[in-house]
Structure 1
């Protein structure tokens, strides 16, 4: 009797843990298709809770109809198969959903719904079914129900920490899901062998599992799209050698967005237009060969820090890149040498806070990630910190993505920056006729850029236009808000980017 109670408790604990492992893994495994945003995580949490809720109801319904151990074993066994099915479906289904002209919110929701709803329902069946079975051998209703609820909650906590702190970092998302399937299959065994028809059931589960594994392998479901799955991102290096006009270049993709392209033969080459534009603005403020003190919030492909280090070694280059794996892959694959830099693998605002006033001549915020912008790096309080850390003639540069001409995020950033800096400008390249999503450069300092356009003096010929007056007119017309640490609705401000295929 005590062994049966122990087995019931173990089943509830581990099934709850595996559900949370699936939930945490879901947010990471869909990132190469829809990025890592508030929308993707909201979809994951909502779908899993919906599946769990329906599964709880279904489990109670089955318990009232005298379903017992065999039903419990079947639910766990099919749950194992449904977990493997996630890997089998992901490549084709993810590509199909991403190719539709849907908003990011709908794309994320449909992707998670199709992949993770069924496993969540099946694992939701377990708790009410086990609770009913447990009460048949223990008449202490309150104690029994409280114990099983506590074991379920503790299992959920264990699964959350195991997935986030250990499994995904050490074995990756694919092997994490394979592990979930194996654990669920093992949990099913003691319940399947207790009832009648155990041999056909066990053989069916085995054959189905082998068949699902074969299908997953054929669909390349076991192959992760990442070169490195880090604590934070799915990192991929794209070799551009075979593409015409790309020279000997490689690009770094973080989740599903390319964050920079490095010319392996010429480290000073700035192929990415907004990086080239920032360099041009800096050169117009300071002499090209003047040693400066730079701080970069965000490393990415390290394209610009790498170019500065190659250009003149006397400049001080400080980079804050939260993910050590980004730096590692840039060193191994993108020809990065950090011997002339100071690299902090920590959060940029925290790192910058450790430096004293008037410490840097140029501060570059290059942290627009995926389809989001770190809200704590866009607020008035952060801008005040930046101003304090800049020298008297220092320059703060930001790159951000927004639609054009109705640039909701840009006019908000402009208004927020103007509360800290005397002079703020907005720059773009001339958009093509069909282009409505652009990369903007914002410059902020105590001195103005008194020209309407600026041309590159080195590398590819490009022109950037000062559209500050246009954005300010928008700010007045639409009453732009100021971003603060207490109120920074970045996702809402850029939600318009999520209404077309251009978002991806």
Structure 2
């Protein structure tokens, strides 16, 4: 085989496998969320596919003329890549859950076989290129390096370009189609057998059938951005209500006709905090870490005219979605900065805000770098002396994450409050917690009375000994050690 063609085959098939690995995160997100566990499962399954395919491809190449195997293998790999889309949608919709087992099973169903089959190409090409034992090292080393280079290219191209520019189905079909076309060319180039003709024909039929099925099966995304699978649903019980769903999480609720209506209990708890710490109707300067549906900025705009809100939102596509469908109107009093909030907070001036609200999520977890002592210290820096930091988070089980975040707030602020229903405080059920940090005393009774007026039984823990009992020895989260995903979903 001409060296240039051999190089191209190894490079492109390796790149294709890594593109599939990156896009797998977007395909799985609507069914299992986006957490460290999700990416761990995807990387592990794809690596297992690469290992198996490389081993078995070399084994086949020793038993059968690899020139006859190469084309059908690429066509089959491309067809299996195309099939991954309907497989993920069908099996994901069955409700496997969101734990490690569900993640690994769903990834394996969609991506183990295409990763394995496409990875079998490299040892086949190596076998074809070896003409003597004297050049084994150079041939294997050269093609291995090209495979790694192709993987790097696929990773960077998918992560920096393809996912941002194209929907996931288009990327999957594009990669699969490219592999099928290249495989047919290779099949026509090299000697063919009747058996290989049957394999190629069956693979093409598989690609056409599953491609059509993937186009027919509905996806869960109204908008697929570089970060989220997002959709907006109308509340059947409230025609003006809109629910924003990001991946698997019911993220925000906005009433288009009444921005003072806060549907979610965590948003109501946050409103209790801001109404208790500042005079009614008084304008505030507020920094929002996370925008989502922009329900709280719009609530503040309606209840406290003259309030200045600056929202730090990672995803510019969500800002556009909020403007188009969730009633968001940007102005001099409601501004948005897109990009990573950790970087944006560092750019904010000292003592600029009365209130900072943390409501950023990646799946069910707050992104780890927005939970640490270093971030909280930076939040304290941008607030006035008696400013308030209120953060919304989710936890379950033994509340490892909630306890650690409370410990982190206590390490920075003189006063800390933990707000949640009694069942969550005791660990009997999971859900949202609102935590408050301030150097000024936190009006726990006012917050509690407002919750009672709404008919909620939220517990407001502020006494130092009660806060310490809730923390129960949990470690402070730092930039060096913040295992948020593991604390949120412990193996036990």
TM-score for the superposition, normalised by structure 1:
0.90
Take 2:150 and 2:484, find their aligned partners in 1: how far apart are those partners? 34
Match of 1:106 among 84, 101, 110: 101
Q: Decide whether aligned partners of structure 1 residues 311 and 475 sit closer, same or farther in structure 2, where only a CA change above 3 A counts.
A: closer
Match of 2:20 among 12, 19, 22: 22
Contact 1:84–1:216 (8 Å) recurs in 2: yes
Name the SS for the 2:477 alignment partner.
coil
Match of 1:46 among 41, 44, 62: 44
* 1:381 equivalent in alignment to 2:374: yes
Contact 1:269–1:459 (8 Å) recurs in 2: no
Q: Decide whether aligned partners of structure 1 residues 78 and 426 sit closer, same or farther in structure 2, where only a CA change above 3 A counts.
A: same
Q: Decide whether aligned partners of structure 1 residues 383 and 458 sit closer, same or farther in structure 2, where only a CA change above 3 A counts.
A: same
Q: Using the TM superposition, name which of 136-145 and 112-121 deviates more.
A: 136-145
Take 2:485 and 2:86, find their aligned partners in 1: how far apart are those partners? 31
Take 2:348 and 2:177, find their aligned partners in 1: how far apart are those partners? 49
Q: Decide whether aligned partners of structure 1 residues 136 and 330 sit closer, same or farther in structure 2, where only a CA change above 3 A counts.
A: same
Q: Using the TM superposition, name which of 228-237 and 443-452 deviates more.
A: 443-452
Take 1:161 and 1:283, find their aligned partners in 2: how far apart are those partners? 47
RMSD: 2.5
Deviation at 1:450, TM superposition (A): 4.4
Name the SS for the 1:393 alignment partner.
strand
Q: Decide whether aligned partners of structure 1 residues 262 and 139 sit closer, same or farther in structure 2, where only a CA change above 3 A counts.
A: same
* Equivalent residue number for residue 493 of structure 1: 487
Deviation at 1:299, TM superposition (A): 0.3
Name the SS for the 1:363 alignment partner.
strand
Name the SS for the 2:310 alignment partner.
strand
* 1:315 equivalent in alignment to 2:310: no
Deviation at 1:74, TM superposition (A): 1.5
Name the SS for the 1:193 alignment partner.
helix
Take 1:269 and 1:459, find their aligned partners in 2: how far apart are those partners? 15
Take 2:311 and 2:362, find their aligned partners in 1: how far apart are those partners? 16
* Equivalent residue number for residue 128 of structure 2: 133
Take 1:267 and 1:441, find their aligned partners in 2: how far apart are those partners? 21
Take 2:71 and 2:134, find their aligned partners in 1: how far apart are those partners? 24
Deviation at 1:233, TM superposition (A): 1.2
Q: Using the TM superposition, name which of 148-157 and 213-222 deviates more.
A: 213-222
Deviation at 1:319, TM superposition (A): 0.5
Take 1:327 and 1:473, find their aligned partners in 2: how far apart are those partners? 40
* Equivalent residue number for residue 262 of structure 1: 254
Take 1:195 and 1:380, find their aligned partners in 2: how far apart are those partners? 62
* 1:9 equivalent in alignment to 2:20: no
Name the SS for the 2:143 alignment partner.
helix
Take 1:46 and 1:208, find their aligned partners in 2: how far apart are those partners? 26
Name the SS for the 1:419 alignment partner.
helix
Deviation at 1:296, TM superposition (A): 0.3
Q: Decide whether aligned partners of structure 1 residues 343 and 442 sit closer, same or farther in structure 2, where only a CA change above 3 A counts.
A: same
* 1:482 equivalent in alignment to 2:464: no
Deviation at 1:141, TM superposition (A): 3.3
Q: Decide whether aligned partners of structure 1 residues 134 and 429 sit closer, same or farther in structure 2, where only a CA change above 3 A counts.
A: same
In the TM superposition, what whole-angstrom CA distance separates every residue of 1:426-482 from its partner, at most 9, and x where no partner exists? 011354999611211101112223445623389954443213555521434xx2111
* Equivalent residue number for residue 158 of structure 1: 153
Contact 1:410–1:471 (8 Å) recurs in 2: no
Match of 1:426 among 418, 435, 446: 418
Q: Decide whether aligned partners of structure 1 residues 228 and 137 sit closer, same or farther in structure 2, where only a CA change above 3 A counts.
A: farther
* Equivalent residue number for residue 502 of structure 1: none
Contact 1:91–1:220 (8 Å) recurs in 2: no
Q: Decide whether aligned partners of structure 1 residues 351 and 193 sit closer, same or farther in structure 2, where only a CA change above 3 A counts.
A: same
Alignment of 1:164-179 (within 5 A): 164-179=159-174
In the TM superposition, what whole-angstrom CA distance separates every residue of 1:246-293 from its partner, at most 9, and x where no partner exists? 342111111111110100111221112111111111111111211110
* Equivalent residue number for residue 282 of structure 2: 290
* Equivalent residue number for residue 223 of structure 2: 228
* Equivalent residue number for residue 72 of structure 1: 70
Take 1:346 and 1:222, find their aligned partners in 2: how far apart are those partners? 33
Take 1:11 and 1:44, find their aligned partners in 2: how far apart are those partners? 24
Q: Decide whether aligned partners of structure 1 residues 464 and 91 sit closer, same or farther in structure 2, where only a CA change above 3 A counts.
A: same
Q: Which runs of 5+ in 2 are unaligned?
A: none
Take 1:133 and 1:175, find their aligned partners in 2: how far apart are those partners? 33
Contact 1:91–1:221 (8 Å) recurs in 2: no
Contact 2:342–2:375 (8 Å) recurs in 1: yes
* 1:440 equivalent in alignment to 2:433: yes
Name the SS for the 1:205 alignment partner.
helix
Take 2:483 and 2:60, find their aligned partners in 1: how far apart are those partners? 44
Match of 1:467 among 447, 461, 474: 461
Q: Using the TM superposition, name which of 443-452 and 406-415 deviates more.
A: 443-452
Take 1:485 and 1:230, find their aligned partners in 2: how far apart are those partners? 27
In the TM superposition, what whole-angstrom CA distance separates every residue of 1:111-135 from its partner, at most 9, and x where no partner exists? 1111111111101111111011011
Deviation at 1:201, TM superposition (A): 4.4
Contact 2:289–2:358 (8 Å) recurs in 1: yes
Name the SS for the 2:166 alignment partner.
helix
Take 2:35 and 2:423, find their aligned partners in 1: how far apart are those partners? 27
Q: Using the TM superposition, name which of 372-381 and 108-117 deviates more.
A: 372-381
Name the SS for the 2:448 alignment partner.
strand
Contact 2:80–2:207 (8 Å) recurs in 1: no
Contact 1:75–1:122 (8 Å) recurs in 2: yes
Contact 2:81–2:176 (8 Å) recurs in 1: yes
Take 1:187 and 1:215, find their aligned partners in 2: how far apart are those partners? 19
In the TM superposition, what whole-angstrom CA distance separates every residue of 1:392-412 from its partner, at most 9, and x where no partner exists? 2211001111126x3222221
Q: Using the TM superposition, name which of 105-114 and 424-433 deviates more.
A: 424-433
Name the SS for the 1:251 alignment partner.
strand
